[in-house]
Structure 1
């Protein structure tokens, strides 16, 4: 039996334009797109609301936030995963890469358990068919960590793996290029000053010993495989060039304008964080995503740690950077889908998956009204 849904009187955000029209969904796919309004019986009137493709989020730490909603209050893993799933679905995210951290740098030991539980739960819940959104795996690999490579060897063949990022959160480089800022953050988090000083020295030595060998081993594991590699918190344009020479094609959250420019010069896709755009700047003092967008240096927006920020960030780009709405929406739909090799989604076009989000504006704020994944209403 054919399953059909007609959505009409919608402002369709198409790849090149916004057009009021009608869309026919059939058996989970977009079957037809037509201008104007449909008089067909049963057509759903979207009352002039926007209709965009389902959001594709390449990086979210939101699962970690559900696992540890308060310090020392660890939540049961399956319950946390289902809560995470509900939150991303209602935010319009129909494809989400759960970013799980491999490797302990001495201050976030519980993240390793979250990673192991998360990989297990993702597979089991997907197989059971109980998840609203489609969940895939993004492995965040701490190159200086002594335990990163054994964990990666455990998970690198997981069938849900879609992206791997090379990270270095050593004080003095990347996001933490300012050691004083790093020190203050750890002390504010409740760590004794002496412990922080000792651990900072250990991490610097650890980076010298382990980053190079771990990097080479990681690159070898993924050589010739169809798994996109990204670098995280790029901060040095020279290092960006080395990354590009190693076949890395994505620069995730570059911390300064110079590194973003270098990534673009080397043909890398640049990811910016949605919270950076929504809040009007980086929470850690890095380059403003709006400034990157104004220079044409934002290809993809990721939720980072706030899934509802995705659509709001895209809606801000026309005001902040002068982008057409269709191009702004592409940063959370078509562009991430393309970077991940997901050719069956990311645009409103015949033959693609019927992953769709209905949005009504409240002033300048986009408000999600309904979400479909594969033609099925999920929120």
Structure 2
């Protein structure tokens, strides 16, 4: 009996190109990468399918969709987490940061309960060995929210914390930098124009009082700690410059080219959303991720809210920009792993974790056929 697995006759997507070759897995690691086919007994012939590293997703809200599959139909938390885990695993995501929201601006108070339950279930299910993929915690901190800092006090030292993002969803900044678009969206959702205007005024006043002290407290809390910090929906070059000066190294979903260019000038890693690439544009009317990529302004792709979009987005990135496949796949594998300090994964190379995804193209779209995490088949 041996724990060796041989995967052969595969198009291996390596850091420097695509190689028709063979991968030997042993002890949960990649033991050897070699060109050509293996004649060893028991070698699994992948029939020329692509083999890529396991996907690393730095930001997904997918758990929230399992907790609330329909309005007013809240699902039991642990069951929702297990459903979420199964979905990311079959999508080829072997490492996932579950993005949980701290602080409410009156958009969805139930998200706070999802965060509390999710942080608890993440640790319990991981310790029980019940999860297929490797889950970590990403705290999304709403700076203008009056309840953000008390929640952060409860979770800033969570043992599975891997990333923190600073958010501001006040109308007039960030994702809602155009207040007219925000107003139209809320009116379309059923609110009266007068009610929306009152709410904008309330949120603007709340931001003026709470955003800055909350920001200072958060930065102080994580100073000197090995936890990557990101800002969410950057919209202005001056804002980006301030973030960089404060030691924030990741710009997550910049909403326009100017913000993305500023992030690049300051050496920040830039995250774009996979749904933006797959759909051909932003659902909220912000900059196209493909346009940013054509300028070299995308380092990492995150699922945002659709885990199966990750690998398809990498393929579309290659098609839309002329980027070679290795570089495109790196945006969902080695680049996010590097940004998180997870140097043991993200590439097909000897000595790294045997996290792998077998893909077969259908009409130019990559379809997941099999997934291994630590050398064990999980999908």
TM-score, normalised via structure 2 length: 0.99
**Distance (Å, rounded) in 1 between the aligned partners of 2:65 and 2:277:** 20
- Deviation string, structure 1 residues 166-209 (Cα, Å, up to 9, x no partner): 00000011110111211222233344444332221111001000
Partner SS, residue 354 of structure 1: coil
The match for 1:56 is: 56
**Distance (Å, rounded) in 1 between the aligned partners of 2:135 and 2:289:** 26
Matches within 5 A, 1:280-291: 280-291=280-291
**Distance (Å, rounded) in 2 between the aligned partners of 1:164 and 1:259:** 20
Matches within 5 A, 1:110-121: 110-121=110-121
**Distance (Å, rounded) in 2 between the aligned partners of 1:66 and 1:201:** 33
Q: How many angstroms does 1:363 deviate by?
A: 1.7
1:143–1:210 contact (8 Å) kept in structure 2: yes
**Pair 1:274-2:304 in alignment:** no
**Distance (Å, rounded) in 2 between the aligned partners of 1:188 and 1:113:** 27
Partner SS, residue 307 of structure 1: coil
1:67–1:114 contact (8 Å) kept in structure 2: yes
Matches within 5 A, 1:1-379: 2-379=2-379
**Distance (Å, rounded) in 2 between the aligned partners of 1:29 and 1:189:** 50
Using the TM superposition, name which of 299-308 and 72-81 deviates more. Answer: 72-81
**Distance (Å, rounded) in 1 between the aligned partners of 2:147 and 2:169:** 15
- Gap runs ≥5 in structure 1: none
1:281–1:289 contact (8 Å) kept in structure 2: yes
**Distance (Å, rounded) in 1 between the aligned partners of 2:191 and 2:274:** 29
- Deviation string, structure 1 residues 86-134 (Cα, Å, up to 9, x no partner): 1000000000000010000012111100100100110111011010001
**Distance (Å, rounded) in 2 between the aligned partners of 1:138 and 1:213:** 21
**Distance (Å, rounded) in 2 between the aligned partners of 1:65 and 1:52:** 27
**Distance (Å, rounded) in 2 between the aligned partners of 1:188 and 1:129:** 45
1:55–1:332 contact (8 Å) kept in structure 2: yes
- Gap runs ≥5 in structure 2: none
**Distance (Å, rounded) in 2 between the aligned partners of 1:226 and 1:188:** 43
- Deviation string, structure 1 residues 224-265 (Cα, Å, up to 9, x no partner): 000000000000001100000000000000000000000000
1:2–1:27 contact (8 Å) kept in structure 2: no
Could you list the structure 1 runs, at least 4 aligned residues long, displaced by more than 4 angstroms after superposition. Answer: none
**Distance (Å, rounded) in 1 between the aligned partners of 2:164 and 2:189:** 28
1:357–1:370 contact (8 Å) kept in structure 2: yes
**Distance (Å, rounded) in 2 between the aligned partners of 1:224 and 1:166:** 17
| Change in CA separation of 1:73 and 1:187 when aligned onto 2, cut-off 3 Å | farther
**Distance (Å, rounded) in 1 between the aligned partners of 2:41 and 2:323:** 37
TM-score, normalised via structure 1 length: 0.99
**Distance (Å, rounded) in 1 between the aligned partners of 2:228 and 2:284:** 26
Task: Give the total of aligned pairs.
Answer: 379
**Distance (Å, rounded) in 2 between the aligned partners of 1:372 and 1:220:** 39
Partner SS, residue 169 of structure 1: coil
**Distance (Å, rounded) in 2 between the aligned partners of 1:191 and 1:107:** 13
Partner SS, residue 332 of structure 2: coil
**Distance (Å, rounded) in 2 between the aligned partners of 1:194 and 1:243:** 35
- Deviation string, structure 1 residues 307-327 (Cα, Å, up to 9, x no partner): 010000000112111101000
1:77–1:117 contact (8 Å) kept in structure 2: yes
**Distance (Å, rounded) in 1 between the aligned partners of 2:187 and 2:357:** 42
